[in-house]
Amino acid sequence: MYACGPTVYNYPHIGNMRKYIADDVLVRVLRQNNFEVQRFVNITDVGHLTQDEFDTGEDKIVAAARREGKSPLAIAEFYSQAFFTDVDQLNVLPPESYIKASDHIPEMQQLTTRLIKKGHAYVSNGRVYFDVCSFEPYGRLSGNTVAQLQERVRAELKKEVFEQKRNPADFALWIKAEANHILQWPSPWGAGYPGWHIECAAMILKHLGDTIDVHTGGEDHIFPHHEDEIAEAQAATGKPLARTWLHVRHLFVEGKKMSKRAGTFIRVEDIKAKGFHPLAFRFLVLGTHYRSHLNFTWRSMRSAQEGWLRYVETIRKLREMQATAQKNDSPPAELLSRLKRIDVDFDKALNDDLATPRALAASSELIGVSNTHLAGHAGLSTINALLERFLHMDELLGLLPHFDEQLSDNEQKNLYDLLAERTRLRAAKEYAKADAVRESLQKMGYELQEHDLHIRWTKIATGQSGTFTP
């Protein structure tokens, strides 16, 4: 599975986060159905250019660097961290690998060369363009025809750009850099930088093969980004790029597109600043199917927080009662059959194109049932039966806080010092010493899942977990 990841020249907003939450639910549901999932997410740290930006030659990361007076590398690093923090707060499980566009320039150049050799791309004035008329299925994903696109683009193109292209709708694979452009690499076509779409195509072919099972993105990626990824990859390999595409619809704020100028650009931090828990936002997102537009309002945020609290509090109460329950009991058959039906409804909903609103309705029924029984001094077996259902649900919904903050200060400092030490030793290639640190962490009861840019830890005894980013 490949997911188009963040372009790290700015903070991610809650519309972006909606997409990562949808991806996360998909991964959890696939795993629940015994699929082995290998997910790659890219970090676009170079050259995100839309067609019109390309035609004016403005690279967003370079522009941000100029605006903030930092190096492009520092900009990308800073906003990558902001992204990791946000997805972690929203219980989005880390992918198997984050991959950076800037680490794959040679692969992008190789793919470009391959396309030129096959007659799908051509060099013009230091730029390399993909010839959309050379690829018959072009436009199929987005439902465009080449003729329509040519018409649309023709009206917008500047004369000098128009004259460089064979067809107005051709898009760039490689862009010649001006001498003072900060991010540039040598290439057979002169110093420059890659177009945006070639990044994803080249990284998929390198890490996941010619055809992947699932490719995800936001609805704004359908055209041109995914259309162009398909053209590049399929023209090179002769095979379809992805068997299944998942596109998440837009999130609007108070009925409007998010915009900085209108004050409707909202980050996870803004939600927290108003006293909401990030996971209450996750609850809100799950309340709308990923294929419908979601209209965010502060009022809907408030009711989402109420719903989320009811869910978390019920589980907390059950846990408390589990720890103190005196008597055992045998749960009434009627209760067990009701729990079974709730379970079936829940699983059916998620297996039906990730119908999260229906899954939340099942969880809400379970909350009702639990509260009835909590009031009636339930015995241990009843409590266990209820808790077990909740924990199954939460493996898929991911709404319980991961209790990162509940390690004692000392414990957390100790853990994070050791993780930092291990990261440092590995970077210095002192593998034996690094492994010794890992072993001592295991002896202390921690399980580690290590990824390129972060380590996910779990304290087995308590189930507490968190993400450490060096």
Identify whether the C-beta of residue 63 lies closer than 8 Å to the C-beta of residue 7. no
The least CB distance from residue 123 to Zn ion, in Å, is 24
The least CB distance from residue 6 to Zn ion, in Å, is 11
Q: Give the containing element (helix H, strand E) for 245.
A: strand 242-248
The least CB distance from residue 212 to Zn ion, in Å, is 12
Longest alpha-carbon distance in the chain: 83
Helix ranges, 238-332 (H) = 268-273, 278-286, 298-324
The least CB distance from residue 264 to Zn ion, in Å, is 25
Q: How many residues bind Zn ion (CB under 5 A)?
A: 2
Query: Please, which residues have CB within 8 angstroms of residue 242's CB and are 6 or more apart in sequence?
Result: 2, 211, 212, 213, 214, 215, 230
Between residues 202 and 455, which has the closer beta carbon with respect to Zn ion?
202
Q: Pairing mode, if any, of strands 40-43 and 2-3?
A: parallel
Between residues 200 and 397, which has the closer beta carbon with respect to Zn ion?
200
Of 82-90, 187-195, 200-208, 262-270, the segment contacting Zn ion by CB under 5 A is 200-208
Q: Is 174 helix (H, G, I), strand (E, B) or coil?
A: strand
Of 49-57, 199-207, 354-362, 449-457, the segment contacting Zn ion by CB under 5 A is 199-207
The least CB distance from residue 3 to Zn ion, in Å, is 8
The least CB distance from residue 116 to Zn ion, in Å, is 22
Sheet holding 242-248, edge to edge: 97-100, 40-43, 2-3, 212-218, 242-248
Between residues 176 and 225, which has the closer beta carbon with respect to Zn ion?
225
Give the Cα separation of 229 and 204 in Å (integer). Answer: 10
Question: Can residue 200 be called a binding residue for Zn ion (CB under 5 A)?
Answer: yes
Between residues 217 and 398, which has the closer beta carbon with respect to Zn ion?
217
Between residues 200 and 350, which has the closer beta carbon with respect to Zn ion?
200
Identify which of 212, 285, 227 has the alpha carbon closest to the alpha carbon of residue 19. Answer: 285
Of 2-10, 124-132, 281-289, 386-394, the segment contacting Zn ion by CB under 5 A is 2-10
Identify which of 10, 9, 22 has the alpha carbon closest to the alpha carbon of residue 249. Answer: 22
Of 13-21, 195-203, 236-244, 402-410, the segment contacting Zn ion by CB under 5 A is 195-203
Of 193-201, 237-245, 376-384, 461-469, the segment contacting Zn ion by CB under 5 A is 193-201
Between residues 185 and 245, which has the closer beta carbon with respect to Zn ion?
245
Between residues 134 and 216, which has the closer beta carbon with respect to Zn ion?
216
Residue carrying structure tokens 């010794």 = 436
Between residues 99 and 279, which has the closer beta carbon with respect to Zn ion?
99
The least CB distance from residue 82 to Zn ion, in Å, is 20
Between residues 5 and 331, which has the closer beta carbon with respect to Zn ion?
5
Identify which of 198, 200, 28 has the alpha carbon closest to the alpha carbon of residue 99. Answer: 200
Instruction: Please report, for residues 58, 107, 136, 263, 435, the alpha-carbon distance to residue 145 in angstroms, rounded to integers and kept in the order given.
Output: 28, 29, 10, 37, 56
The least CB distance from residue 127 to Zn ion, in Å, is 20
Of 4-12, 238-246, 311-319, 407-415, the segment contacting Zn ion by CB under 5 A is 4-12
Of 1-9, 133-141, 398-406, 414-422, the segment contacting Zn ion by CB under 5 A is 1-9
The least CB distance from residue 194 to Zn ion, in Å, is 12
The least CB distance from residue 232 to Zn ion, in Å, is 11
DSSP string, 34-58: T-----EEEEB-S----HHHHHHT-
Give the Cα separation of 58 and 225 in Å (integer). Answer: 17
Question: Can residue 4 be called a binding residue for Zn ion (CB under 5 A)?
Answer: yes
Between residues 45 and 347, which has the closer beta carbon with respect to Zn ion?
45
Q: How far apart are the first and last CA of the chain?
A: 25
Q: Residues in the site for Zn ion, rule: CB under 5 A?
A: 4, 200
